[in-house]
């Protein structure tokens, strides 16, 4: 087996292989920095890189070096000040009053903590590590767009790069055995006759017969040796074919409450959660569509720009968004072809009699069609009516429904990982 190591230098004389090794070694520090950065960033800053600082004590590495070696004569001075069991006081610090983690000194030198930058692609790699859509299955053949090269058997014609050595040698051996079978059989008979004559008295007649046998045996051996060891008709080649591969087509319904009960801070939490979800889908899945739905008293399907930046508001009827989701699924996304997901963000405040209807609509009409549905409540105070209704669904359908609460920006990423962590059944 051969290994090819790419040692070409990338831009600015940096090796991508060495950088990946470095990121792998200090992934724990990078993950912690990425987690902290998500809670502090605004929507527009979500796709930027990050500055990572690694403490000096964590970058030291063990190394081999020469010991003192040899024979040494050392005289140790006597100890007149301390005795066994004495407690030694901690030495007092220097005179400086700086805010650093070290102690001030009037001599010596040291090193600062190591800092480096990760680019936006590396930031997103760590951000979405070990995350996946729940219950994703492969259902649909995408025509000629997605193929996989597979072994299609052995053929007698092909290019030299695809020669199957074992099958070619086996074919050559069978050909030689088939073409020389009669000659080998005749050769064995003549050799047995010659051996029998050699054990008898050598009369002139037997010597003449031995000479005749030796000549005949030599001709048969030359005939057998003239059969080529391998011929072009023996060559066999590996055959590869393109097979259409089933792909996972998924659609995510992003449902956001923009009613008057949602203040600007709550809307910002919901938008940041959905932006994280949108980046995750765009980066990790090729055949995924996103449907954006905003609702107050009525629901409307909007584009990405309007979903994140429109300032429309009003009363609250959550069921309007769930009904619109149901209608879009029936019209555009057949259940047998699509993996359907939903994510809803709201403060939980709803019209008096609408919450029970929302729970019934979600449980009876949406969940049977969906792979998974997530509900996020952006309410820093006590839970509202919608949460209470959804709790029963969570108890009855834990595999396809999950819910969580976000109190402040620092909770967004942990909640996101909780909802979309990679499960055993994920594809």
- Name the percent of the chain lying above pLDDT 90: 22
- What would the pLDDT profile of 294-337 be if each residue is shown by its tens digit? 998 889 999 988 888 887 777 888 899 999 999 999 999 988 88
Instruction: Assess whether pLDDT exceeds 70 at residue 61.
Output: no
Q: Which of 60-74, 92-106, 154-168 is the least confident region?
A: 92-106
Helices first, then strands: H and E counts in the chain? 11, 12
The per-residue pLDDT for 67 is 73
Beta strand extents in 35-163 (DSSP E only): 50-54, 114-118, 140-141, 147-155
Which of 44, 23, 46 lies closest to 127, judged by CA?
A: 46
Q: Which helix (H) or strand (E) holds 375?
A: strand 372-377
Strand partners, 344: 255, 375
How far apart are the C-alpha atoms of 349 and 318, rounded to whole Å? Answer: 9
Q: What would the mean pLDDT of 120-135 be, rounded to a whole number?
A: 76
The per-residue pLDDT for 368 is 92
The per-residue pLDDT for 132 is 80
How far apart are the C-alpha atoms of 20 and 6, rounded to whole Å? Answer: 13
The segment with the largest mean pLDDT, out of 48-57, 210-219, 260-269, is: 210-219
Higher pLDDT, 247 or 198: 198
Which own/partner contact pairs does 296-302 have at CB distance under 8 Å and 24+ positions apart? 296/257, 296/258, 296/259, 296/260, 297/259, 299/255, 299/323, 299/324, 300/324, 301/328
Q: What would the mean pLDDT of 377-403 be, rounded to a whole number?
A: 86
Instruction: Assess whether pLDDT exceeds 70 at residue 43.
Output: no
Confidence tier at 40 by pLDDT (50, 70, 90): low
Average pLDDT over the chain, rounded to an integer: 80
Q: How far is CA 298 from CA 314, 318, 348, 357, 376, in A?
A: 9, 8, 16, 15, 20
Instruction: Assess whether pLDDT exceeds 50 at residue 426.
Output: no
Q: What would the mean pLDDT of 78-86 be, rounded to a whole number?
A: 76
Packed helices 354-361 and 319-332: angle between N→C axes, nearest 10 degrees: 20
Instruction: Assess whether pLDDT exceeds 50 at residue 427.
Output: no
The per-residue pLDDT for 286 is 77
Q: Which helix (H) or strand (E) holds 281?
A: helix 264-284
| Torsion angle in degrees (nearest 10) through CA of 340, 345, 350, 356 | 40
The per-residue pLDDT for 256 is 92
Confidence tier at 277 by pLDDT (50, 70, 90): confident
Instruction: Assess whether pLDDT exceeds 50 at residue 96.
Output: no
Q: What would the mean pLDDT of 134-139 be, rounded to a whole number?
A: 70
pTM given for the model: 0.60
The per-residue pLDDT for 85 is 79
Q: Which of 132-141, 198-207, 279-288, 380-389 is the least confident region?
A: 132-141
Confidence tier at 143 by pLDDT (50, 70, 90): very low
Strand partners, 149: 242
The per-residue pLDDT for 58 is 64
The per-residue pLDDT for 287 is 78
Instruction: Assess whether pLDDT exceeds 90 at residue 48.
Output: no
Q: What would the mean pLDDT of 19-45 be, rounded to a whole number?
A: 71
């Amino acid at each position: 087996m051969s290994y090819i190591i790419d040692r070409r230098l990338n831009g600015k004389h940096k090796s991508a292989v060495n950088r990946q090794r470095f990121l792998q070694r200090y992934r724990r520090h990078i993950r912690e920095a990425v987690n902290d950065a998500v809670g502090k960033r605004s929507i527009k800053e979500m796709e930027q890189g990050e500055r990572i600082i690694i403490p000096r004590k964590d970058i030291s590495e063990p190394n081999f070096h020469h010991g003192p070696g040899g024979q040494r004569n050392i005289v140790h001075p006597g100890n007149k000040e301390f005795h066994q069991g004495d407690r030694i006081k901690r030495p007092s610090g220097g005179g400086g009053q700086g805010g650093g983690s070290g102690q001030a000194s009037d001599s010596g030198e040291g090193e600062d903590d190591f800092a480096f930058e990760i680019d936006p692609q590396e930031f997103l790699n760590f951000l979405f590590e070990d995350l996946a859509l729940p219950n994703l299955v492969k259902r649909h053949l995408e025509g000629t767009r997605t193929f996989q090269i597979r072994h299609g058997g052995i053929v007698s014609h092909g290019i030299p790069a695809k020669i199957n050595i074992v099958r070619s040698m086996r074919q050559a051996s069978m050909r030689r055995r088939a073409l020389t079978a009669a000659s080998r059989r005749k050769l064995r008979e003549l050799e047995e006759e010659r051996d029998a004559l050699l054990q008898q008295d050598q009369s002139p007649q037997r010597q003449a017969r031995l000479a005749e046998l030796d000549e005949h045996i030599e001709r048969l051996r030359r005939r057998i040796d003239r059969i080529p060891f391998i011929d072009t008709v023996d060559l066999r080649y590996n055959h590869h074919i393109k097979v259409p591969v089933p792909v996972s087509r998924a659609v995510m319904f992003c449902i956001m409450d923009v009613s008057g009960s949602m203040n600007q801070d709550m809307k910002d939490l919901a938008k940041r959660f959905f932006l994280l979800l949108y980046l995750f889908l765009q980066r990790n899945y090729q055949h995924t569509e996103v449907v954006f739905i905003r609702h107050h008293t009525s629901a409307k399907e909007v584009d990405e720009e309007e979903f994140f930046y429109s300032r429309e508001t009003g009363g609250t009827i959550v069921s309007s968004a769930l009904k619109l989701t149901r209608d879009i699924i029936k019209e555009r996304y057949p259940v047998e072809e699509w993996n359907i997901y939903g994510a809803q963000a709201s403060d939980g405040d709803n019209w008096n009699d609408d919450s029970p209807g929302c729970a019934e609509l979600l449980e009876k009409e949406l969940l049977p069609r969906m792979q998974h549905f997530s509900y996020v409540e952006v309410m820093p105070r006590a839970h509202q009516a919608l949460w209470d209704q959804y709790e029963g669904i969570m108890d009855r359908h834990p595999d396809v429904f999950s819910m969580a609460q976000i109190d402040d920006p620092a909770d967004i990423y942990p909640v996101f990982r909780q909802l979309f962590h990679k499960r055993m059944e994920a594809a």
